[in-house]
Structure 1
């Protein structure tokens, strides 16, 4: 590959975080340039489509976080820009046919996104560079072997200490006391990353050592969330599987003088530990406070969700975790840095038990602005009916943010971009929603709605005597979004905000129809009650200031309820001594009734759409009957939203 090509690789619209990754980026782009001709081979065409479709499952671009010449080369070959022969025309027709199907959804989403946002730029670049320089002369089969290579810029560029390919075993160990939230998702995805990178094993282990907080409901939903994140595991285990062995080990440590029974009251025990006061039940103290009277077992008479009332004492996480890690063959235990001071305790327990060493690898906990990630605090919102349940779209749970309209692909990209850094960062939600917008905008269908209590009738003097229907695309740049039926009539609804911005005699554009001239503005008590005008379809849409959405005044309109959400707490970051109850946001949900086009009757639960000039929405409750509104949840687009208060 010539140096001139490398120049184009690293300078075309790339947004990479540091210079150290540029060499890795260049190598990946070169591999893609060599792989691109696969799409020009008749026998390999669909194999190439299948491979790239799989590769794009959790990616927006082929390399890094921005458009590179790798995307241009592959896009050009798919679009038939590099092969002007009859065979090239045949391939273009073949691709267009596949593009309309659902066979390669990730590849089509990527292609449509680039086609929509960069088409004009691409045409110039293809003509100037790609075609002339003959990018891609031979296939690069090695690329398939490097899909999960450690050089992936979306993944953490770090090594596990002492890790060997084929010999790594990691575990994701959530406590079944709540649903999986965005913080847990980071831990889960990092474990997935290292298991795949080292071709090792991933165990999902439920740390079920506190029966007062745990339930089968949480187990089932944690498994559901893990599946949602696309995490494949080798086994599901439970700490409760090891209760008999843990009890034996505890008794053995007591007999060896390495543990003792303490009946000191809980609060007194905690104070003595922090003050360095020796417990009356033992004779030595350690300068590391985590090693002063570490609690191995607690009494608890509540029944356990798996073993019932068999036990009256249960091991603590600190005692059970290193023991089960060692028994299950875990080589590397990934833990957030909040456990750093307890690492010595982890290793001491392994040593006292006579078990092999398990390497701890730390990463920073993911913290989000205006967000509580404590399951205890989230449970308070559920129990006090401040939210619907754990799937509420105001919650940071995986099910909550997906219900609000976040694509799992965006969540994966966002978390992997943070990597396995040990630096504590307070992340903005806007960054996550910006990634999400780039994924949904190229493919989501467009619909129209006006606010029910803030609308004005617009009478068109020369409008059609009888309403008529035209079939229009739901997305002008995405054929996969299918079609919609739009009704045209001589009485149409406008949003009041648009009507109030119009002057008498002004020419405006009615989107998807043409221009109209305002002849009269009727008012009562200073409020606009009707506009009167006439169509001027031969008018130029380029000269009008206002391009407005509209709806024909017909009985078939659908009554959607537009729901907006705000943060549950009013402070960006709470200090350790601050009570979250003193910082509750008084208004976190607002519903606005609207009227929507009749095509909304066909929306399915979970479908994401864009309401023209209003924003993106996810259908949470589809159409059942006219008296029951379709519920649409507003999806943030990465721009700062006004508070609902």
Structure 2
């Protein structure tokens, strides 16, 4: 048996995999996939089986499933899943699938234990009586009994397939379920007859003829495809169509709540808004906005703009302990920089009084109560699906206590207001969510007026309704909250917007979790929220990315429900395309090498005209060239090579915009052997040489032509791993130690003397650069945005 989970020896890995009762053939095939093999070895080690093995084939297969199917964006929780498999809490692949679906939505955020257990059916025991009751219910619905009686055993397979997914049957023991199901079928139909046992005659399948598509139909189809490509918002419904059923809430007592707007509610809404598209961009002011927020803005503001509607900028400011005025100011400023104009800037705290009134109404209607359980007790009771001891307290008592909470007469942490929902529901978001909690903290917008603050679950849907939002758009992790969102609006009798969820935007080699970004900044791993290596919008702007490029990338990424992880070069492509249009060209060298032109006079000066946009316009700027110039170190080699077009001994090149020079010698440093001076002569050529190199003048020129010294900052990926989530808890150790290279002593053309922070340029042959905010009267600092061409390895940025 292999003793190391990290062993790279194929035979040792095969033995390790076999040790957990996996079939030898499967073990051997698993080793062929290096990534999966590493995952499986890690899982076995985490399960404590690397040394002892596991004499339990079923449990071994479950560990195998964990290695292959655990969501890569939630690896921080993999040890929890492994532990539950080994303890016997997760016994089937169906349970694992349920847990994986939950983890995929949660990512690396902290687990809600009750939701986790609910998703995986942990602790659910399905008895034979449960199977019998479920069978009777399924057969009695939708004409299934009549279908069974008519088609007899021919209909059983289809019925069984659907029955396995009915309610809690997916958590049932397979053998018990099948045996009970078969017995119930036989009780209904009796034993199989000869007719039941006879094989049905095979029907000859006629090939389906493809309907002929005439030119007109094909043209219409192609036009529709073009229209959808041109309009990424085409699939959203119109405000006047918002009378469909938004969601169905199935209660544990058998009640079903089908939630939609009535015709009266819809007509009243359309009367207030005129059928206008109204959306909202609702960031929480607890950090800086990142690229994922840019996608949200593109969807929220873009949908409204497409239909001549309006979009609110609404601060989701219900947690005063995490929010700062700095973040509020940044968000509004960055939204405007991105090119979006809010219809109105609002705060959830603007509605605190109205929210309080609605909370009172909720108590009066019996849909909320004051609870004295601690946070840990609430989690424990949710896990056990137990009601709070205060759930049935009289409304009058809850109203009195809630008023005392508002007046600051109840200690923080000793009481909450909870919504009275359904503690036995299949959806964990119906487990009596918290509506209000006590926080004796000053609010950055509301000041000291309040000491109780509403939760996100209570606030978000109500403010959407109060602001007459037509489309409430959010990322997929909020999809399970649909039930609670619409339940609250329904019991309060408020208008219900359309909710639509889309996939989050994830990028390779970087992070966009607010929790991780905050750690990177506060622990000093990067230089602030606007560090150019981060995917914060402030960092991208400082790097030289434009709002146009970012919005173009967001448009290209699409509005879908599919998980998306984009390679960094996709973002670079949009930056490069935009900067190619707007960035003026300039000459400069990052690593200067001095060149002496020996056959010109010491006071030689020639003024040349360089193109601002070569090939696109006649606009020019002046450069001076004298006896000495500086070229890029990489443009000289001591020995010439095939396919190399730079300078070498005896070789002729063209100095960009100037004249040809031929290398006649060079000097090196005695200590290092490094070339420190290249000696050339100006030459006349009949045919321009293939090699054209960039340059800058020397310090001996008149002041207006002298080069400008600068510091250039070159960037690489912030993390080595493509998917940082796969690294797990030790993700900080994966940071690329070479993500920032500072090049001192770069020399730029004289036009850079007046360069201002935020300006973008193309240094010919070197890349696109942006003047950094650290630039002042004594120092010029440039950030490289992207290189001119996409690298073959698609890595260096």
TM-score calculated relative to the size of structure 2: 0.58
- Give CA deviations for 1:369-428 in whole Å, capped at 9, x if unaligned: 222222232222222233333222222222221221112111111112223211111112
- 1:378 alignment counterpart: 517
Checking the alignment, whether the CA contact within 8 Å between 2:710 and 2:779 is kept in structure 1 is: yes
Checking the alignment, whether the CA contact within 8 Å between 2:585 and 2:761 is kept in structure 1 is: yes
Checking the alignment, whether the CA contact within 8 Å between 2:609 and 2:657 is kept in structure 1 is: no
2:366 to 237, 257, 262: 257
CA shift for structure 1 position 166: 3.5
Is residue 2:627 matched to residue 1:460? no
Q: Which moves more between the two structures, 499-508 or 422-431?
A: 499-508
Task: Please give the residue correspondences for 1:32-431 in structure 2 after superposition, counting only pairs within 5 Å.
Answer: 151=228, 153=230, 155-160=232-237, 163=240, 166-274=275-383, 276-282=385-391, 284-431=423-570
Q: Gapped runs of 5+ residues in structure 1? A: 1-6, 8-17, 27-149
User: For the residues of structure 2 that align with 1:584 and 1:316, how far apart are their CA atoms?
Assistant: 35
- 2:635 alignment counterpart: 498
1:560 to 710, 735, 739: 710
Checking the alignment, whether the CA contact within 8 Å between 1:445 and 1:610 is kept in structure 2 is: yes
User: For the residues of structure 2 that align with 1:20 and 1:175, how far apart are their CA atoms?
Assistant: 44
User: For the residues of structure 2 that align with 1:414 and 1:19, how far apart are their CA atoms?
Assistant: 29
**Structure 1's 367 and 160: CA in aligned 2 closer, same or farther, altered over 3 A?**
farther
Checking the alignment, whether the CA contact within 8 Å between 2:436 and 2:452 is kept in structure 1 is: yes
- 2:223 alignment counterpart: 23
- Give CA deviations for 1:193-248 in whole Å, capped at 9, x if unaligned: 22133333322211110001112222222111111122223222211111122122
Checking the alignment, whether the CA contact within 8 Å between 1:600 and 1:623 is kept in structure 2 is: no
- 2:123 alignment counterpart: none
Q: Gapped runs of 5+ residues in structure 2? A: 1-214, 242-273, 393-422, 641-646, 701-705
Task: Please give the residue correspondences for 1:500-515 in structure 2 after superposition, counting only pairs within 5 Å.
Answer: 500=637, 502-515=647-660
1:472 to 589, 602, 610: 610
User: For the residues of structure 2 that align with 1:390 and 1:372, how far apart are their CA atoms?
Assistant: 13
Task: Please give the residue correspondences for 1:552-631 in structure 2 after superposition, counting only pairs within 5 Å.
Answer: 552-555=697-700, 556-575=706-725, 578-593=729-744, 594-621=746-773, 625=777, 628-631=778-781
User: For the residues of structure 2 that align with 1:20 and 1:614, how far apart are their CA atoms?
Assistant: 47
CA shift for structure 1 position 622: 8.4
User: For the residues of structure 1 that align with 2:699 and 2:794, how far apart are their CA atoms?
Assistant: 33
Q: Which moves more between the two structures, 584-593 or 289-298?
A: 584-593
Is residue 2:692 matched to residue 1:547? yes
- 1:136 alignment counterpart: none
- 1:52 alignment counterpart: none
User: For the residues of structure 2 that align with 1:388 and 1:574, how far apart are their CA atoms?
Assistant: 20
Checking the alignment, whether the CA contact within 8 Å between 1:590 and 1:644 is kept in structure 2 is: no
Checking the alignment, whether the CA contact within 8 Å between 2:608 and 2:657 is kept in structure 1 is: no
**Structure 1's 166 and 354: CA in aligned 2 closer, same or farther, altered over 3 A?**
closer
Q: Which moves more between the two structures, 287-296 or 387-396?
A: 387-396
CA shift for structure 1 position 264: 2.7
User: For the residues of structure 2 that align with 1:292 and 1:20, how far apart are their CA atoms?
Assistant: 49
RCO higher in structure (CA 8 A, sep ≥6) = 1
User: For the residues of structure 2 that align with 1:487 and 1:200, how far apart are their CA atoms?
Assistant: 55
- Give CA deviations for 1:470-493 in whole Å, capped at 9, x if unaligned: 33333323448x432211112222
User: For the residues of structure 2 that align with 1:349 and 1:428, how far apart are their CA atoms?
Assistant: 40
- 1:639 alignment counterpart: 790
**Structure 1's 154 and 548: CA in aligned 2 closer, same or farther, altered over 3 A?**
farther
CA shift for structure 1 position 306: 1.7
**Structure 1's 597 and 267: CA in aligned 2 closer, same or farther, altered over 3 A?**
same
Checking the alignment, whether the CA contact within 8 Å between 1:155 and 1:417 is kept in structure 2 is: no
CA shift for structure 1 position 571: 2.3
Is the partner of 2:230 in helix, strand or coil? coil
TM-score calculated relative to the size of structure 1: 0.71
CA shift for structure 1 position 343: 0.7
- 1:3 alignment counterpart: none
User: For the residues of structure 1 that align with 2:717 and 2:219, how far apart are their CA atoms?
Assistant: 37
- 1:55 alignment counterpart: none
User: For the residues of structure 2 that align with 1:221 and 1:354, how far apart are their CA atoms?
Assistant: 36
**Structure 1's 568 and 340: CA in aligned 2 closer, same or farther, altered over 3 A?**
same
Is residue 2:678 matched to residue 1:531? yes
Checking the alignment, whether the CA contact within 8 Å between 1:177 and 1:215 is kept in structure 2 is: yes
User: For the residues of structure 1 that align with 2:550 and 2:240, how far apart are their CA atoms?
Assistant: 27
Checking the alignment, whether the CA contact within 8 Å between 2:542 and 2:773 is kept in structure 1 is: no
Checking the alignment, whether the CA contact within 8 Å between 1:403 and 1:620 is kept in structure 2 is: yes
CA shift for structure 1 position 291: 0.9
User: For the residues of structure 2 that align with 1:181 and 1:251, how far apart are their CA atoms?
Assistant: 37
Is the partner of 1:372 in helix, strand or coil? coil
- Give CA deviations for 1:222-280 in whole Å, capped at 9, x if unaligned: 11111112222322221111112212222332333322233333244335434545444
User: For the residues of structure 1 that align with 2:238 and 2:351, how far apart are their CA atoms?
Assistant: 28
Larger radius of gyration between Structure 1 and Structure 2: 2
**Structure 1's 463 and 361: CA in aligned 2 closer, same or farther, altered over 3 A?**
farther
**Structure 1's 562 and 597: CA in aligned 2 closer, same or farther, altered over 3 A?**
same
User: For the residues of structure 2 that align with 1:19 and 1:381, how far apart are their CA atoms?
Assistant: 53
Checking the alignment, whether the CA contact within 8 Å between 1:276 and 1:289 is kept in structure 2 is: no
